[in-house]
Amino acid sequence: MNLAERSFITKLCQSCGKDPHRLMDIIIGVQGAYARVSGDAMNLIAAELGLPRVDVESAVSFYQFLSKEQKGHVRIRLCDDIIDRMYGFDRILKAFSEELGIGLNQTTPDGKFTFETTACIGMCDQAPAALMNNVVVTNLNSDSVHDLVESLRKNLNPEQLVKKTGNGNNSHPLVRAMVQNNIRRRGPVIFQDFTPGEALRKGLAMSPMEVIRSVKTARLRGRGGAGFPTGMKWEFTRAAAGDRKFIMCNADEGEPGTFKDRVILTEKPNLIFEGMTLAGYAIGAGEGILYLRGEYTYLLDFLNETLKERRASGLLGKSILGKDGFDFDIRIQLGAGAYICGEETALISSCEGLRGDPKNRPPFPAQKGYLGYPTVVNNVETFCCVSRIIEHGAGWFAEHGTKGSSGTKLLSVSGDCRMPGVYEVPFGISIHELLEMVGADDTYAVQIGGPSGQLIGRADFQRTICFDDLATGGAVMIFDEDRDVLEIVQAFMDFFVHESCGYCTPCRVGNVLLKKKLEEIRAGKGEPSDLEYLKSLGETIKATSRCGLGQTSPNPILTSMAHFPDAYLKLLHEDKQGYQPTFDLDEAVATAARIAGHGRVHHED
Amino acid sequence: MSNTITFSIDGKEIECKAGRTILDAAEENGIYIPRLCHRKGVSPHGSCRVCTVIANGKPMAACTTPVTPGMVVENDAEEVTAMRKAIIEMLFVEGNHFCMFCEKSGNCELQALAYRFGIAAPRYPYLFPHREIDFGHPDVFIDHNRCILCARCIRTSREIDGKEVLGFVERGPRKKVAANAEHGLRETEIAVGDEAMAACPVGALMPKHVGYQVPIGKREFDHEPIGSDIEKEAKASTK
């Protein structure tokens, strides 16, 4: 490590107050500057922060975007999810590989490029997409790859790839992204005009308890997918003892097929921050953290600017809007590529500078969250709803949607339809209605709620999106008849294996076993008893896993087996000769045959 | 206000102090809940999931779940046993465990649990991962082939030995125990007398030079199944 790097790291640690809880900011900073966090860098960071070196290595090796090995100047990360796979992922991967002259996970000998894939980057409505360092490139096709690489070779600056910026704030000078919002339907709650301060002014005229009561009267439930009553969560946190309390906004939108938070962050950041501030007022918190997934780093400067403006307008900081004693501020914590950090306790771990392992519950974050203090963690969309509830009243909000699921829901729609994008719909909409709205005519299967949700077929299209029927964080992936159900399921299982934190046995091992069995079945080596094997293994993983990831990861297999049994049955067969289909006699005796000097010993008739 | 809580395990009424975990409360009452990552005296981890019980109808890890008044716990139930067996089998196929020539054989908690549950062979296919052995330290080695990622060594080293010699790196199926150094154990302060050495339930973190010294018949689990000590204490005290 040279002197410049040493001094860069030392200064970075100092600027974070040598606080070990700020480890994420430090290692992300080092990775950004040097395209790696070397062993020497780990030693230095550990010494500066007073941490064991292995704890620094633990975090660096946990997050996908951080690496001990040297990466290229430009890190090309092709988004690998089922939607991208449907729209040319293989061709684009091949094109990049040929153009760069390297395979996946390799760096060019001149150190200019590293080529990798990454889990869903939240661009399914403009797939195929990729990240070039922090720059998002959308609507890729194999023809454009040559030009992209050519241009990058010239200046190694991915920002120059953005020739035409997207609509709305995607064209903001601090964003400058080619990303499109694709807001297809504006409902009454999220995508209407909002004047910053409007809701807060009304909220601060109420007592904190009245704010909580409004949220409860509106019957607001968490928008991340689990649907926990928001008001109740706030009440618990308010009642919990603690010198400090925290508000956290979960903008680690990692569920494949979900991208609505990206659009809210781009277009309605004030609605989010205002909701967080109201939450802070309601529970008595002084600090808020918005956890922004690393994939959305391109929004960081814009969001920080918005926070600055809010401070300047008296909407954040000391004595907000002149209210004595109400001090609240927000900072943004960047993630670095880990789906699990969308799990609320893993998100807290990550904010604390740890690897993104979920925590044991109880205690729940409402009792002991960030740094052990009572903490509210809510979804981006939930905070937006809070702002509107206070702005327009609980009664107004509860008029929308259904009795058990009030308000609207943002859906991220992608796959086989004419109008992919974000839809704000009232709860209670049926899948039929939705498919018609998005221009999907020949739908065979719909994945509701992303991989952790469920895959449903035509027989279920009369069902409705709400907490009592099809609950969802918002991902809706649409598949026509010519799609291979098991290919979809395979993509989801690949994802879960990749994203498991590895803490608990059933998730770490069980998902690998599910994935392997699925691969065998798809290779024609399945037998009828495999269905029971998958079911029983899947149920065990769900029942015994420590957090929501493992408790839902078998869903792609379990729900596709329930709704598309033929997709499996047509591939399963008893072996005629009485062997297990997975047993390959030729392969088993290949070594012996070679040693004995003859060829294949077993011949099919 | 009373500090005692009443709850039940498999229909048996049990009293314990408030704040106890299900696992500890059971143990104090002579009921053995199988476990691997749990070790007395260090903070609970909740990672192996072998101690899964059904508490008020929900599967929970007994080592991290506090007892609540009136809680109904199922421990010796067919459904629970099935889950535990599945998890033990997963641990066997995940690593490379060859009991027949492992020096931990007879003293290994994973092996002992398999015997207790009557597991002859796992139903899952072996994954045969490629894993390394850190043999660079003069007195101590880590054989990652046998590691079950229970963190007992990490926690014991930090909480009891007061050292920071080990930690976890990587994630998912690639997760592993790592030395707090660039080049393995030899650059750490680990010592053969550390409590962490005794904490490993399997043959992963091991002392050198002493393999196979205890003859068959004298090893920890040669005569009675794992957990018998806890169950025996209960029998003795009820007499």
Closest CA to A547 of A303, A275, A356, A366: A356
Buried b / exposed e along A47-81 (16+ C-beta atoms within 10 A): ebbebbbbbbbbbbbbbbbbbeeebbbbbbbbbbb
**Mutate: best of A341, A501, A513, partner B, most B CBs <10 A:** A513
A355 vs B contacts (CB less than 8 Å): 168, 171
Residue A578 is predicted with a pLDDT of: 72
Phi, then psi, of A367 in degrees rounded to 5:
-95, -55
Give CA angle at B190 (B188, B196), nearest 5°: 135
Contact: B49, A54; criterion CB under 8 Å = no
- Edge-to-edge strands of the sheet including A329-334? A329-334, A287-292, A246-251, A375-379
Please report the domains of chain B, with CATH numbers, ordered by start residue: 4-76 (3.10.20.740), 86-207 (3.30.70.20)
Contact: B167, A54; criterion CB under 8 Å = yes
Statement: residue A605 has pLDDT above 50: no
The interface pTM score, or ipTM, of the predicted complex is: 0.97
- C-alpha A360/C-alpha B43 separation (Å) is 11
A429-456 tens-digit pLDDT = 999 999 999 999 999 999 999 999 999 9
Q: What sign has the CA pseudo-torsion A127, A130, A136, A141?
A: negative
Option in B49, B127, B181 nearest A505 (CB): B49
Option in B82, B90, B179 nearest A54 (CB): B179
Q: Is A7 exposed, middle or buried (0-12, 13-18, 19+ CB in 10 A)?
A: exposed
CB atoms within 10 A of CB B11: 9
B188-236 tens-digit pLDDT = 999 999 999 999 999 999 999 999 999 999 999 999 999 999 998 766 6
CB atoms within 10 A of CB A408: 26
Asked if A446 contacts A478 with a C-beta cutoff of 8 angstroms, the reply is: yes
Closest CA to A443 of A415, A471, A466: A415
- C-alpha A132/C-alpha A96 separation (Å) is 12
- C-alpha A405/C-alpha A94 separation (Å) is 45
**What amino acid occupies position A273?**
F
Option in A39, A360, A533 nearest B64 (CB): A360
B49 vs A contacts (CB less than 8 Å): 504-506, 544-546
Average pLDDT rounded to a whole number, residues A513-528 = 95
| A580-584, long-range: CB < 8 A, 24+ apart | A580/A527, A581/A520, A581/A524, A581/A525, A581/A526, A581/A527, A582/A520, A582/A525, A582/A527, A582/B125
Residues in chain A, total: 605
Contact: B175, A54; criterion CB under 8 Å = no
Shortest distance, CA A514 to any CA of chain B (angstroms): 10
- C-alpha B236/C-alpha A387 separation (Å) is 64
Asked if A35 contacts A71 with a C-beta cutoff of 8 angstroms, the reply is: yes
Q: Could you tell me how far CA A120 lies from the centroid of its own chain? A: 7
Q: Could you tell me how far CA A478 lies from the centroid of its own chain? A: 19
Interface residues on B facing A, Cβ-Cβ cutoff 8 A: 44, 46-50, 52, 59, 61, 64-66, 82-83, 86-87, 90-91, 93-94, 123-125, 127, 148-149, 164, 166-175, 178-182
A176-224 tens-digit pLDDT = 999 999 999 999 999 999 999 999 999 999 999 999 999 999 999 999 9
Phi, then psi, of A342 in degrees rounded to 5:
-75, -15
Contact: B178, A57; criterion CB under 8 Å = yes
Statement: residue A49 has pLDDT above 90: yes
Closest CA to A139 of A126, A151, A130, A148: A126
Asked if B148 contacts B113 with a C-beta cutoff of 8 angstroms, the reply is: no
Cis peptide before A451 (omega within 30 of 0): no
Among all chains, which residue has been given the structure tokens 């008044």? B69
DSSP string, A401-441: B-SSSBSEEEEEEEESSSS-EEEEEETT-BHHHHHHHHT--
Among all chains, which residue has been given the structure tokens 């790196």? B169
Percent of chain A with pLDDT over 90: 94
Residue A412's DSSP bridge partners are A422, A475
- C-alpha A371/C-alpha B152 separation (Å) is 24
Contact: A513, B124; criterion CB under 8 Å = yes
Buried b / exposed e along A277-315 (16+ C-beta atoms within 10 A): bbbbbbbbbebbbbbbbbbbbbbbebbeebbeebeeeeb
Maximum CA extent, chain A:
90
> What is the residue-averaged pLDDT of chain A?
96
- C-alpha A316/C-alpha A211 separation (Å) is 18
Contact: B47, A58; criterion CB under 8 Å = no
Q: Is B35 exposed, middle or buried (0-12, 13-18, 19+ CB in 10 A)?
A: buried
Among all chains, which residue has been given the structure tokens 């290994």? B108
Q: Which residues contact B164 (CB under 8 A, 6 or more apart)?
A: A52, A54, B157, B158, B180
A311-337 tens-digit pLDDT = 999 999 999 999 999 999 999 999 999
- C-alpha A234/C-alpha A208 separation (Å) is 10
- C-alpha A352/C-alpha B74 separation (Å) is 36
Asked if A121 contacts A339 with a C-beta cutoff of 8 angstroms, the reply is: no
Statement: residue A112 has pLDDT above 60: yes
Contact: A55, B167; criterion CB under 8 Å = yes
A370-422 tens-digit pLDDT = 999 999 999 999 999 999 999 999 999 999 999 999 999 999 999 999 999 99
Asked if A456 contacts A463 with a C-beta cutoff of 8 angstroms, the reply is: yes
pLDDT band at A582 (very low <50, low <70, confident <90, very high): confident
> What is the residue-averaged pLDDT of chain B?
95
Residue A603 is predicted with a pLDDT of: 56
Q: What sign has the CA pseudo-torsion A247, A251, A252, A258?
A: positive
Percent of chain A with pLDDT over 70: 99
A335 vs B contacts (CB less than 8 Å): none
Query: Roughly how many angstroms between the first and final C-alpha of chain A, as a whole number?
Result: 65
B77-111 tens-digit pLDDT = 999 999 999 999 999 999 999 999 999 999 999 99
Residue A374 is predicted with a pLDDT of: 98
Considering only alpha carbons, which residue of chain A is nearest residue B47?
A: A504
Alpha-carbon distance values, B185 to A179, A385, B133, B151 (Å): 48, 53, 11, 16
- C-alpha A546/C-alpha B63 separation (Å) is 12
Contact: A544, B52; criterion CB under 8 Å = yes
Residue A246 φ/ψ region, left for φ over 0, alpha for ψ in the -120 to 50 degree band, beta for the rest: beta
A503 vs B contacts (CB less than 8 Å): 47, 175
Tokens representing residue A546 in the block: 């420590």
Which helix (H) or strand (E) covers residue A344, if one does? helix A344-351
**Mutate: best of A56, A357, A360, A553, partner B, most B CBs <10 A:** A360
Contact: A54, B59; criterion CB under 8 Å = no
Closest CA to A184 of A496, A500, A451, A414: A414
pLDDT band at B237 (very low <50, low <70, confident <90, very high): low
Alpha-carbon distance values, A73 to A112, A114, A133, B38 (Å): 5, 8, 8, 45
- C-alpha A553/C-alpha A541 separation (Å) is 8
Please report the domains of chain A, with CATH numbers, ordered by start residue: 3-62 (no CATH), 78-163 (3.40.30.10), 184-398 (3.40.50.11540), 408-483 (3.10.20.600), 486-569 (1.20.1440.230), 575-605 (no CATH)
Helix (H, G, I), strand (E, B) or coil at B207: strand
- C-alpha B133/C-alpha B144 separation (Å) is 6
A73-92 tens-digit pLDDT = 999 999 999 999 999 999 99
